[in-house]
Amino acid sequence: MAAGGDLGSLAAVVAAVTACMCYARYAARRFRPGLPRLAALLPVLAVLPFPPLAFRALHLRAISAFFLAWVAEFRLLLLASGQGPLHPSLPLPAFVAIATFPVTLRDPKKSAAARPGLGLVESAAMVALLTAVVSLYRYEERINGYVLLALYSVHMYLALELVLAASAAAARALLGLDLEPQFDRPYLSSSLRDFWGRRWNLSVSALLRQVVFRPVRARLGAAAAGVLAAFAVSGLMHEAMFSYITLRPPTGEATVFFALHGAGVVAEWWWAAHERWLRPPRALATPLTLAFVAVTGFWLFFPPITRPGADKQVIAESEAMVAFVRDAAGWAVDSARSILSGRS
């Protein structure tokens, strides 16, 4: 998946980000929350959007952009105001991991009832399904365009869940952090509120809630304004992520996509406030919700990626990764057989 030069870029990016976080932790210790701390953190905030551009591989560029230009930026903004999970008293490894990884520390009050993260069997099933989806791309020319977009949707969900679960597993194993799962079966969503607020990419939902929704609601006194603002910011951040992926200017389509979904969430709130109004049964609400997400996604979310052909690079890198894993697995099996036959 990574070009040869990307391995060197990865080492350089890790070193640069670690240095930035060392400084951020030091600055947070020296300056009180508010404008003094924000001013001290500005150099790091200015630097973090650039390291992802060091990668030629689209996957590395996209993942690092999400980690650094979105998650880390928002976490440092929260740190500047004395909020969020970051604190200068954290050990440096934990500080770096929490600042850059899209993970959410588990609330001790909810630990007993919270759904656990991906298990080994579930992860293996997702890897197998993702491999199957990637394998279908060889028939791309014969696949209906909408079916292909549906495959892209499944691919995106599986890849995101596996990447975020892997980052959470690394943070959990290396640092002993107790973390929330990042997804909660979004395919079971019964409403847009359920999809975006409780099931899809929960670390981002938590960040937007802290950075955008709560301040706007507190300032304007209206939850609807906070929701619309959070979705607007999410749209702008997705525009930035798409620009990292395609290396082209934003198109505005992602902003419209999230504006529509924000309006949908507000409309659902308004409808729910009328207790006597009809509520669709879950058996109907779930397919309607998923259909709305899919239709608006096909219309507005995927075109900024497919139009410049970035999806072709995603497919090529995914096929290369699957081939590498398959070859590595074959080598491991052959080695094990050789060892066992030698012993016998």
Long-range own/partner contacts, residues 295-301 (CB < 8 A, 24 or more apart): 296/257, 296/260, 296/261, 297/149, 297/153, 297/257, 298/146, 298/149, 299/257, 300/253, 300/254, 300/256, 300/257, 300/260, 301/238, 301/253, 301/254, 301/257
Determine, yes or no, domain membership for 62: yes
Considering the entire predicted model, what is its pTM?
Answer: 0.90
Determine, yes or no, domain membership for 343: no
Residue 156 Rama label (left phi>0; alpha psi -120 to 50; beta): alpha
Q: 100, 131, 150: which is the final residue of a domain? A: 100
Do 206 and 183 meet the contact criterion of CB atoms below 8 Å apart? no
Q: Are 300 and 200 part of one and the same domain? A: yes
Determine, yes or no, domain membership for 21: yes
Q: How far apart are CA 200 and CA 179, in angstroms?
A: 16
DSSP one-letter string for 47-93: HTTSGGGG--SHHHHHHHHIIIIIIIHHHHHHHHTT-SS--TTS-HH
Do 311 and 58 meet the contact criterion of CB atoms below 8 Å apart? no
Helix, strand or coil for residue 105? strand
pLDDT value, residue 110: 57
Do 244 and 167 meet the contact criterion of CB atoms below 8 Å apart? no
Taking only the tens place, the pLDDT of each residue in 171-183 is 777 777 667 788 9
Phi, psi of 106 (to 5 degrees): -75, 135
Q: How far apart are CA 228 and CA 232, in angstroms?
A: 6
Q: Are 81 and 193 part of one and the same domain? A: no
Q: How far apart are CA 195 and CA 187, in angstroms?
A: 8
Determine, yes or no, domain membership for 22: yes
- Counting the structural domains of the chain, the total is 2
Q: Are 95 and 189 part of one and the same domain? A: no
Determine, yes or no, domain membership for 64: yes
Q: 100, 124, 157: which is the final residue of a domain? A: 100
Taking only the tens place, the pLDDT of each residue in 112-171 is 455 556 778 888 899 999 999 999 999 999 999 999 999 999 999 999 999 888 888 877
Say which residues have a Cβ less than 8 Å from residue 55's Cβ, sequence separation at least 6: 2, 6, 9, 10, 13, 61, 64
Q: Are 96 and 188 part of one and the same domain? A: no
Helix, strand or coil for residue 179? strand
Nearest partner of 200 among 297, 73, 111, judged by Cα: 297
Percent above pLDDT 70 for the chain: 93
Q: How far apart are CA 338 and CA 319, in angstroms?
A: 28
Q: How far apart are CA 299 and CA 304, in angstroms?
A: 10
Q: Which domain holds residue 74?
A: 1-100
Q: 81, 100, 119: which is the final residue of a domain? A: 100
Do 233 and 217 meet the contact criterion of CB atoms below 8 Å apart? no
Taking only the tens place, the pLDDT of each residue in 240-296 is 999 999 999 999 999 999 999 999 999 999 988 887 778 889 999 999 999 999 999
* The two structure tokens encoding residue 40: 């001290």
Mean pLDDT of the chain: 90
Do 208 and 230 meet the contact criterion of CB atoms below 8 Å apart? yes
Determine, yes or no, domain membership for 220: yes
Determine, yes or no, domain membership for 178: no
Determine, yes or no, domain membership for 339: no
Burial of 114 (0-12, 13-18, 19+ CB in 10 A): middle
Rg (CA), the chain: 21
